Amino acid sequence: MTCLTSDVNNLLKGLNRKELLEIADLKNINIPNNWSKQLIMQLLSLNITLDDIPTNKTKPVKTKKISDGAPIIVIKDLVKKFDDITAVNNLNLEIGEGELFSLLGPNGAGKTTTVNILTGIIQPTKGNAIIAGFDVTKNSSDVKKLIGVCPQEAAVFSFLNARENIELFGNLHSLSKKEIKERTERFLELLDLADASGRKAGSYSGGMLRKLNLIMALINDPKIAFLDEPTVGMDARARRKTWEFIGSLKGEKKTIILTTHYIEEAEALSDRVGIIDYGKLIEVGTPQELMEKYEAKNLEQVFLNITGRRILEGI
């Protein structure tokens, strides 16, 4: 019985509010208008069985590409389990070349785990992902030559200055001295870090560390950049500056996968957004498409409608 209820719960988690209301309607269950998705799920899980969920609703979200070319990232049936917790649950997604794709979701939704699998930090439990034709588990060394990763927590050597940190990553990517020097100067200027570049990173503020974190991810001029919450901890001015910088990368035909807690960041920068919760991709589309679909004024309303909880919950 417990197992069946948990199966019902798992299937319900993959549905949006509208689909949950449809099921409630079919079963003649009255749902007050102001109920969150979470509450509706709880009530339904007590009153329905697996057979009451239409099979067409349980399929993974179909994804649309907006770029003309072939997808550069293909994620297929991706699952990652940590003991009893399913962090990524049957994720299917395609991202086109040159696209800026934002992955939104509350804390613990599975965003960072997904990025960690795609960047070769951890192995998936099931399923696979192909990046630029390379399987992330079997050809991770080929994948690593093409990507740049800006991790969620600033990971820099505190006893090195900004230039030395950036140079190290340039050398690990086998760039020439000239390339390292030119790109370092350009990025330091663009992100207002040039004046502090000779100081040890250990003396930097949180915002400065974030900027350095970002430059280190982009020094190899990656074809695909994974930016995991790149602007967390930045003040409003620095955040705007960084958005401009990330926006400028779109012009260089880079594919960018951005995870963020700032919905306005996703709305301003993204070609498409994917909303993920409980490890499942719940919705995907352009910000405009999603706002129209959910009759929302902005992406935040869409997000609240879908997940029934605030994106900043738990921070």
Which tokens hold the place of 81?
Answer: 């389990």
Please tell me whether residue 214 binds another protein under the rule CB under 8 A.
no
Which residues 218-277 are close enough to bind another protein by CB under 8 A?
220
Encode burial over 2-26: b for 16+ CB neighbours within 10 A, e otherwise: eeeeeebebbbbbbbbebbbebbee
**234 vs 227: CA distance, rounded Å:** 15
SS3 assignment, position 202 = helix
Q: Which stretch binds another protein (CB under 8 A): 17-25, 37-45, 150-158, 247-255?
A: 150-158
Which residues 111-130 are close enough to bind another protein by CB under 8 A?
119-121
Please tell me whether residue 29 binds another protein under the rule CB under 8 A.
no
Please tell me whether residue 151 binds another protein under the rule CB under 8 A.
yes
Least Å distance, CB 196 to another protein, is 17
> Which residue of 24, 41, 75, 149 would you call a contact of another protein, by CB under 8 A?
149
10 Å Cβ neighbour count for 191? 21
In the complex with another protein, which residue's Cβ is closer, 50 or 159?
159
Q: Which stretch binds another protein (CB under 8 A): 40-48, 166-174, 266-274, 288-296?
A: 166-174
**175 vs 183: CA distance, rounded Å:** 10
10 Å Cβ neighbour count for 112? 21
With CB under 8 A as the rule, give the number of residues binding another protein. Answer: 25
Please tell me whether residue 167 binds another protein under the rule CB under 8 A.
yes
Handedness of CA 189, 195, 196, 197 (dihedral sign): positive
Please tell me whether residue 172 binds another protein under the rule CB under 8 A.
yes
> Which residue of 159, 203, 288, 312 would you call a contact of another protein, by CB under 8 A?
159
Encode burial over 77-94: b for 16+ CB neighbours within 10 A, e otherwise: ebbbeeeeebbbbbbbbb
Q: Which stretch binds another protein (CB under 8 A): 58-66, 147-155, 235-243, 273-281?
A: 147-155
94 DSSP β-pair partners: 74
Residues forming contacts to another protein in the complex (CB under 8 A) are 119-121, 141, 144-145, 147, 149, 151, 153, 155-157, 159-160, 164, 167-169, 171-174, 200, 220
